[in-house]
Structure formats: structure tokens, C-alpha cells
């Protein structure tokens, strides 16, 4: 008891000290400080009694002690005033304030928030209506003198003295003028409105959830929510309701699209991207539902804050509802636009269309679209990750911009995959899409065609180098730079690995060189030996030739030349191929060689490519055949085979005719040989070797399989164009082959001439034998050459006569061949200068000069 008495006495002493200090700090107090007077003075006692009365009062505010509700009320007030940033700051500060617990924290947090709210509202009222504020700047009051009149008079007197820094707010509107005015306004509004604003607010909240209200309903004719014309409301209210109902109309459209799409899933026209879009829209609607729940609760049970006179400030009116709906309307309007835009789109096209709307200057719209696109593009980026790092095309609903189709193994690279431009989103550039396509193709090519698994480690290294992982969800919208870095790193490593496999394991360079040596006839000793041993066989009709016999001859040519030292795998791929036979074709016309390019080499050496190689081979084979024919003709015409002293006993005229025909044949052979030699030099060196050198350099610089294919196509195209086999050289090609056919015909005439001369030479030599040998020789000759038509059957005179006729006919035929050759050659040369390829123009200078030089020296 003694301790309690001591506490009470201490409290009383503290209160006296507080009152003494407050009275002493009043600058408007005309009296001297009370601290210098007796504490039992009347002013001091009155102030002390008033302070004790305040401290001992048990009055409580008419509000539930809920700190969260008070904070939410303050935040809504700030948002209603358009101070959104201050409302966000308040929310952050309250979260920190509410999280403080334990020693040193405030227990009655709601009281502190309530005090701050009251002070804020009183400050605003004081600024707007200063005459309604009644302050007590002096605590020295008579507690019995508290009437309205005395308080107002004292307030005016104190204001005239210039004091406006009150200590305690006692009353705001002592005559209840604000409450009376508000009550009159409410009565006036009720008289003008058939429906109260509270009911309209409730209807609008229902409409915003897609539900018809009691008075506001959806009208299909106008495609919107309307307030019936029969209901009596002011025009301003009707306009406000129609404006607020736009949010409900937008919600109805968005919600309808979501329901329709989910009902059709898993249809192909919805797909995973469409499903993600609907999920993102549904998430936004969930936040929207939360806002409506809060507003509906506020409309049903408004939270009183201070007193009955101030409770009207928390009333949820249509205007306040329009403030709350400002941000949701912007988002819902944007969602409705996206719904209309994406209704007929899917996959990458849908993501690209949504991305175009993200290019907006409003930070709210930009952030909203970014969040939406992160959900929408998630399936698309997962497809990119799976394709680039695993080579898997996870595209069930055909939404990806890479499209695969079933093809043969040899066509996997060229035709197995392609870009679908319609599904390429606008935030992925065309070069990046091409690189994505090639990277996945490379993985599939290694896995299917090369039976290689080394790409998996390469893909992991690429992901690590790009600063990401191979796990799902490692990429997303807004990370285009990271995506490009990943694709570049993966493409660089996987393409390098693919080329290493092609060069090392499958020996691509060696196979290209083998094709050059055997199909393009670059292995000289092999080609010469092959032509020598198959010449007799190929001179037979094509339908009588056995391909097995030719295969044996090919094997003999390989074993008899340096080709025998090549890789057995390469030699095993070289085979004989017989072309389709025509009427009257010889073996020369249907014989060819082919090279068996197996997987994965058949990706480069496709059927069309090998057909072009076959066309080049046929041309080069014909050129070599013509060269071989001229060499054979020279062997039969060379001087050590035909000697002039063997014809000394012939008539002089026959002898001159013989020498003239031989000279004519040799001159024509010389001209043809110069033409064929220069043409062959041009083809073998200026075409094949130069093209191969360029191809080798480009092979070394190739960075991926596409570069390798392009280099090989360029190499083959160069050979075709320079070898007169291009589409623009068809007339030149026909002229050249006409020359070849004429040279082969010349070879047959030269063989006939030499055979006749050899027969005449044999007869002349037989006539010069000794009589003993002559009798024996005549007997043998008569037995062997006495058939009708033989030169030896009619005697010497008949022999010379028939020899003269034969030489005359051969001379005439050679003259005709010479004239035809000249015409064909001039026609061929005349077409060279007009050719578009520069190398063909230089071929004209070489052939023209050598032909002129050969004419000046006909005896060479």
C-alpha cells in the first residue's frame, strides 16, 4: 500500500511539473510564469484539475482496434486523392511497422495509426475551414466555462492576438453544420434518384464480374451493359454508370475467350502457347477478382473512422469507384485488344503479335506486357532450348518456327527441316532463326546419319560458355541476348564437331579427291590403261557387252596403275555403270563409272549431284576417246610403218597420188590433234585443277555443313559452266560434239586408208621377191587373196588401177572431212567470244592462235 501511495504521489508530481512547463511556454500568456508564483494559485489549480480530468477519462474511439484495417483505410484515401506513390510508400512502411515485435516495440499499433490518421484529417480540415477549428492554446481554463459561445469568443480573441499553434483539438464544427449539410444533400439526392447510389455501385460491381445487376443488365442489341431508360437517375449518374460498365464488357470478352479456348484444348489451333496465354490472362483476372472483393466488402460494410459526422468520407460512391477502376480498365482494355488480335493466331505468330503491343511508352503497360509475355513465351523458349541443345522438336501442335518432315536419310539435311516464316516471332531475327535451325539440324545429322553421340558434351559446354544450363526453364522472354549467346556458342561448337566427324571419321576430303581422280579422269595412268583394255570391248554393240566383264577390266586397270595404292574403301566404291541403251549404240556410248557415296557422304553427293558428275564424266570420256582415237591413227600413219621405197615399182602417177593422200591425211590429223590437245589442256588444268584448288581453300574455311555444301556446289557449278555443259552453252556443246564425231569418223577413214596402203605395200613387196620365193609366195598369195574383189586377183595392171581408184576415193572423202571440219571449227570458234564466262573467251584466243599456227606449219 505504501508503494502504491508513493507511485500516486510521483504521478501527481509529474503532472504538476508538466502543467507548470506548459503554462510557462505559452508566449501569449500576459501573466508572469506560474513557476514563480505559489502553486496554490487559482490558474494553476484550474489547469491542474483539467489535466487530471483528461488523463483519467475512459473515452474510447468508435473504431475496432484493427491496425490492418486502419492502414488499408489510409491507403485507400491516398489512392482516391491520386497519390498512388504515397499509398505504395505507406504500404511498405506499414509492413515494416507491423513486423516489429518483442521488447522495445509498440503494443497498440492501431492506436498510433489512428492518431496519425486523425491528425492528417484535422490538418486538412483546418486548411480548408480555419474558422471551424477551436483550439485551446491555454490550459488555464475554467472547467465549468465550456459553452459554445464562450469558447467561440475566446477563440476569436486569441486569433486576434496572432496565436494559431493549438495544443489539443477539442471540437470540429460545434454546431454540427457539416453533418446537417450532408444530411440535406442526401435527402436532395434521394428525391432526384429512383435508385440509390449504393445500389448502383453494387450493380456495377456485379457487372464487372460478368453478372447482371438488378438495374444494370447486358443488352445484346447494343453489345454492352446499360441502365434501363425507365429508371429515373440524373444524366451524370447514367453517364458514369455506362463508363464504369465498360470494364464489365471488357471482362466478359476476355473471360469468354479463356473459356472458349480451354474448352477446345488440346485442339491444334490452341496449342501450348495459346494455353499459356489463357493462363496468363487468368492470373490477371485473379488479381482483378481480389480488387472486386475488397470493393464489394467496402460497399457492403464501410469502415467508420472517427465519428458519425466523418463516416461519409468512406462511402464508396460511383466517382470513387471510377478512381479504383482506372488501372484495371487500362489492363482489361489491353487484354481485350490482345484477345481480338490473337483469336486466329497460334504459336510463334501469337507470341510475335503480343510482343508488338509491348513496345509502349507507358511504364504500366510495358511492365504488364512484359509479365504477360513471360508466361506466353515460356513454351516457345522451351522449344528453342530443346532444339538447340538436344535436337528434339517438341512441337505437338505445330507452333514452332522450325518444321520437320519425314524424308530419306540422305535428304535429312537438305529437306528434313525448314523455317516456317509464319510462326517466326518478331523478337527473333531471321539470321538468328537460321542459326537456330542449323544448330538443331546439325545435332540430328550427327545422331541419325553419323551415329555420333559426341554432340551431347558439346551442347553442355556451349550452355556453360553462354552462362546458362541445359535444364528446362533456363530461358525466357526478355533474354534475347542470352538466347543469341547460347545459340552462337552451341552452333560454333556443334558445327565444328560435325565437320571434324566428316573430315576425320568419314574422310570427306579423301572421297572428294577420289571422285576427281576417277570420275573426272584426273588419274592419267589409270585412265590410259583403262581405255587401252576396254577399247576393243566397247567397240562392240552395246547389247552384246557384259557389265561383269567390264568390271573385271576395271579391276585390271586399277591393279596395273598407281590406283592400286589407294584406300581399299575408296576403290571398293568405284564401279562400272551401263547407261540406258539406244538403237545402234556402241559400248562407248553407254559405258561410265560411278562412285558409291554412302551415308553420310550422300548428303553432299546426292543423286542430282552424282548425275552432274556423270554428265561431266561422259564429256571427259568422249574427249579422252577422241584423243585416244587420234593417237591410234597416228600409230598407223607414222613414217616407220609406211615407207615410200616399198612403192618404187608402182606407176609414178599412182605413187604421187598415194603420197598426196597420205600428206592430206597427216595435215588433217595435225589440225585435229592441235584442237583436241589445247581443249584437253584447258579442261584438265584451267577448269578442273583451278576449280579444285578453289574448292580446297573453301573446304578449309568452312564453318558448318552448309558452308561445305555451298563450296561443293560452287565447285561443281564452276566445272559444268567452264566445260561447256551449262544451260547457256548448249549450242556450243552441240558444236563441240559434232567436231568429236567428225574426228572419230576421220579415224575410221584413216584406218581404211592405212589398211589399203598396207595391203598394196604387201603386194608390191611380194612382187620383188626372188623367183624361187616368188613362186612359193604367189602360190600362197593365190590361195589366200584370190577372192573376188582382192587387188591380187587380177594381176599388176588391175592392181594399179584399183589402187588409183581407192586413193582417189579416199582423197575425196578426206577432202570432204577437211571442209566439214573447217566449217564446224569456225562455227565453234565464232561462238566462244559471246560466251558470258570469261574463261571460255580466253579459250578462243588459245584455239584461234594454235589453229593459225598449225596452218602455217602443216608438215609438223
Q: What is the spatial distance between Cα 823 and Cα 825, in angstroms, rounded to a whole number?
A: 6
pLDDT score, position 512? 95
Q: CATH 1.20.120 in the chain: give the residue spans.
A: 607-768+796-859
Q: Are strands 574-578 and 591-595 parallel, antiparallel or unpaired?
A: antiparallel
Q: pTM of the prediction? A: 0.66
Residue ranges in 221-310 assigned as alpha helix (H): 235-264, 271-300
| H or E stretch covering 577 | strand 574-578
* pLDDT at 717 > cutoff 90: yes
Using pLDDT thresholds of 50, 70 and 90, give the confidence band for residue 635: confident
CB 627 within 8 A of CB 676: yes
Q: What is the spatial distance between Cα 305 and Cα 298, in angstroms, rounded to a whole number?
A: 13
Task: Classify residue 59 as exposed, middle or buried by CB count within 10 Å of its CB (0-12, 13-18, 19+).
Answer: exposed
Percent of the chain that is helix, strand, coil (3-state, to 5): 70, 5, 25
Task: Classify residue 555 as exposed, middle or buried by CB count within 10 Å of its CB (0-12, 13-18, 19+).
Answer: middle
Quick: pLDDT tens for 732-770: 889 999 999 999 999 888 888 877 777 776 666 665 544
CB 531 within 8 A of CB 631: no
Domain 607-768+796-859 listed as CATH 1.20.120: yes
φ, ψ (nearest 5 deg) of residue 363: -60, -35
CB 31 within 8 A of CB 43: yes
Quick: pLDDT tens for 549-578: 999 999 999 999 999 999 999 999 999 998
Quick: pLDDT tens for 240-297: 999 999 999 999 999 999 988 888 777 667 788 888 999 999 999 999 999 999 888 8
Which whole-number Å values give the CA distances from 152 to 137, 171, 797, in the listed order? Answer: 13, 11, 171
pLDDT score, position 799? 67
pLDDT score, position 177? 66
Average pLDDT over residues 90-105: 78
CB 817 within 8 A of CB 745: yes
DSSP state of 684: I
- Determine how many CB atoms are found less than 10 A away from the CB of residue 516: 20
* pLDDT at 520 > cutoff 60: yes
Residue given cell 496449342 in the structure block: 271
- Shortest CA distance to 667 belongs to which of 741, 745, 742, 750? 750
Q: Which residues of 774-810 are buried (b: 16+ CB within 10 A; e: fewer)?
A: eeeeeeebeeeeeeeeebbeeeeeebbebbbebbeeb
Mean per-residue pLDDT over the chain, rounded: 78
- Shortest CA distance to 634 belongs to which of 673, 660, 661? 673
pLDDT score, position 714? 94
Q: How many contiguous H segments (helices) and E segments (strands) does the chain have?
A: 32, 8
Using pLDDT thresholds of 50, 70 and 90, give the confidence band for residue 206: very high
Amino acid at each position: 500500500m505504501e508503494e502504491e501511495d508513493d507511485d500516486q504521489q510521483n504521478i501527481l508530481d509529474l503532472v504538476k511539473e508538466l502543467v507548470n512547463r506548459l503554462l510557462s511556454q505559452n508566449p501569449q500568456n500576459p501573466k508572469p510564469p506560474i513557476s514563480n508564483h505559489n502553486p496554490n494559485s487559482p490558474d494553476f489549480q484550474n489547469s491542474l484539475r483539467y489535466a487530471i480530468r483528461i488523463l483519467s477519462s475512459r473515452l474510447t474511439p468508435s473504431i475496432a482496434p484493427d491496425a490492418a484495417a486502419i492502414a488499408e483505410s489510409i491507403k485507400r484515401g491516398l489512392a482516391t486523392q491520386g497519390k498512388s506513390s504515397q499509398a505504395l510508400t505507406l504500404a511498405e512502411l506499414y509492413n515494416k511497422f507491423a513486423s516489429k515485435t518483442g521488447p522495445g516495440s509498440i503494443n497498440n499499433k492501431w492506436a498510433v495509426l489512428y492518431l496519425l490518421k486523425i491528425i492528417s484529417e484535422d490538418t486538412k480540415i483546418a486548411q480548408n475551414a480555419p474558422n471551424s477549428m477551436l483550439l485551446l492554446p491555454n490550459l488555464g481554463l475554467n472547467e465549468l466555462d465550456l459553452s459554445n459561445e464562450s469558447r467561440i469568443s475566446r477563440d476569436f480573441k486569441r486569433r486576434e492576438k496572432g496565436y494559431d499553434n493549438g495544443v489539443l483539438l477539442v471540437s470540429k464544427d460545434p454546431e454540427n453544420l457539416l453533418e446537417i449539410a450532408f444530411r440535406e444533400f442526401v435527402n436532395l439526392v434521394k428525391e432526384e434518384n429512383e435508385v440509390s447510389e449504393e445500389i448502383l455501385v453494387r450493380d456495377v460491381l456485379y457487372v464487372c464480374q460478368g453478372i447482371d445487376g438488378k438495374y444494370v443488365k447486358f443488352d445484346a442489341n447494343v453489345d454492352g451493359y446499360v441502365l434501363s431508360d425507365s429508371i429515373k437517375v440524373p444524366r451524370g449518374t447514367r453517364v458514369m454508370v455506362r463508363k464504369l460498365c465498360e470494364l464489365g464488357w471488357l471482362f466478359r470478352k476476355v473471360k469468354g475467350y479463356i473459356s472458349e479456348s480451354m474448352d477446345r484444348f488440346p485442339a491444334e489451333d490452341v496449342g501450348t502457347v495459346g494455353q499459356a496465354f489463357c493462363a496468363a490472362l487468368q492470373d490477371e483476372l485473379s488479381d482483378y477478382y481480389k480488387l472486386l472483393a475488397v470493393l464489394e466488402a467496402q460497399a457492403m460494410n464501410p469502415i467508420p473512422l472517427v465519428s458519425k459526422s466523418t463516416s461519409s468520407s468512406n462511402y464508396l460512391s460511383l466517382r470513387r469507384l471510377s478512381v479504383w477502376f482506372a488501372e484495371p480498365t487500362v489492363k482489361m482494355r489491353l487484354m481485350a485488344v490482345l484477345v481480338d488480335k490473337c483469336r486466329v493466331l497460334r504459336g510463334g505468330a501469337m507470341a510475335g503479335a503480343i510482343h508488338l503491343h509491348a513496345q509502349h511508352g507507358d511504364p504500366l503497360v510495358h511492365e504488364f506486357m512484359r509479365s504477360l509475355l513471360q508466361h506466353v513465351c515460356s513454351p516457345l523458349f522451351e522449344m528453342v532450348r530443346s532444339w538447340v541443345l538436344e535436337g528434339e522438336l517438341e512441337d505437338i501442335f505445330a507452333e514452332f518456327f522450325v518444321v520437320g518432315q519425314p524424308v530419306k536419310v540422305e535428304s535429312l539435311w537438305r529437306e528434313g527441316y525448314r523455317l516456317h516464316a509464319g510462326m517466326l516471332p518478331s523478337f527473333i531475327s531471321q539470321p538468328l532463326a537460321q542459326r537456330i535451325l542449323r544448330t538443331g539440324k546439325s545435332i540430328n545429322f550427327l545422331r541419325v546419319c553419323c551415329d555420333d553421340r559426341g554432340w551431347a558434351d558439346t551442347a553442355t559446354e556451349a550452355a556453360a560458355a553462354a552462362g546458362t544450363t541445359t535444364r528446362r526453364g533456363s530461358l525466357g522472354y526478355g533474354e534475347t541476348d542470352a538466347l543469341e549467346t547460347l545459340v552462337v556458342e552451341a552452333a560454333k561448337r556443334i558445327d565444328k564437331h560435325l565437320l571434324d566427324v566428316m573430315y576425320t571419321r568419314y574422310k570427306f576430303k579423301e572421297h572428294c579427291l577420289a571422285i576427281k581422280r576417277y570420275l573426272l579422269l584426273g588419274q592419267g595412268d589409270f585412265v590410259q590403261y583403262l581405255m587401252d583394255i576396254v577399247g576393243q570391248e566397247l567397240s562392240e554393240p552395246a547389247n552384246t557387252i557384259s557389265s561383269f566383264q567390264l568390271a573385271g577390266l576395271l579391276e585390271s586397270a586399277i591393279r596395273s596403275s598407281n590406283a592400286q595404292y589407294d584406300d581399299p574403301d575408296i576403290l571398293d566404291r568405284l564401279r562400272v555403270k551401263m547407261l540406258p541403251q539406244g538403237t545402234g549404240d556402241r559400248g562407248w556410248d553407254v559405258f561410265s563409272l560411278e562412285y558409291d557415296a554412302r551415308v553420310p557422304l550422300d548428303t553432299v553427293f546426292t543423286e542430282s549431284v552424282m548425275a552432274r558428275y556423270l554428265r561431266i564424266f561422259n564429256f571427259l570420256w568422249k574427249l579422252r576417246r577422241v584423243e585416244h582415237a587420234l593417237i591410234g591413227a597416228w600409230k598407223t600413219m607414222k613414217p616407220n610403218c609406211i615407207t615410200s621405197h616399198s612403192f618404187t615399182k608402182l606407176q609414178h602417177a599412182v605413187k604421187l597420188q598415194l603420197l598426196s593422200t597420205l600428206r592430206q591425211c597427216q595435215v588433217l590429223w595435225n589440225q585435229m590433234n592441235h584442237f583436241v590437245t589445247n581443249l584437253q589442256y584447258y579442261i584438265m588444268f584451267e577448269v578442273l585443277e583451278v576449280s579444285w584448288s578453289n574448292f580446297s581453300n573453301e573446304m578449309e574455311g568452312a564453318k558448318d555443313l552448309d558452308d561445305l555444301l555451298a563450296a561443293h556446289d560452287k565447285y561443281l557449278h564452276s566445272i559444268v559452266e567452264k566445260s561447256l555443259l551449262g544451260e547457256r552453252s548448249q549450242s556450243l556443246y552441240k558444236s563441240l560434239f559434232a567436231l568429236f564425231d567428225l574426228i572419230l569418223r576421220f579415224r575410221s577413214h584413216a584406218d581404211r586408208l592405212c589398211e589399203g596402203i598396207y595391203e598394196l605395200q604387201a603386194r608390191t613387196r611380194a612382187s620383188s621377191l626372188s623367183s624361187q620365193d616368188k613362186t612359193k609366195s604367189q602360190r600362197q598369195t593365190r590361195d589366200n587373196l584370190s577372192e573376188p574383189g582382192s587387188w591380187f586377183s587380177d594381176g599388176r595392171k588391175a592392181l594399179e588401177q584399183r589402187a588409183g581408184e581407192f586413193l582417189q576415193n579416199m582423197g575425196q572423202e578426206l577432202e570432204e572431212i577437211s571442209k566439214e571440219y573447217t566449217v564446224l571449227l569456225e562455227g565453234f570458234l565464232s561462238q566462244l567470244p559471246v560466251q558470258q564466262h570469261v574463261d571460255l573467251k580466253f579459250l578462243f584466243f588459245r584455239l584461234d592462235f594454235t589453229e593459225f599456227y598449225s596452218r602455217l606449219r602443216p608438215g609438223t
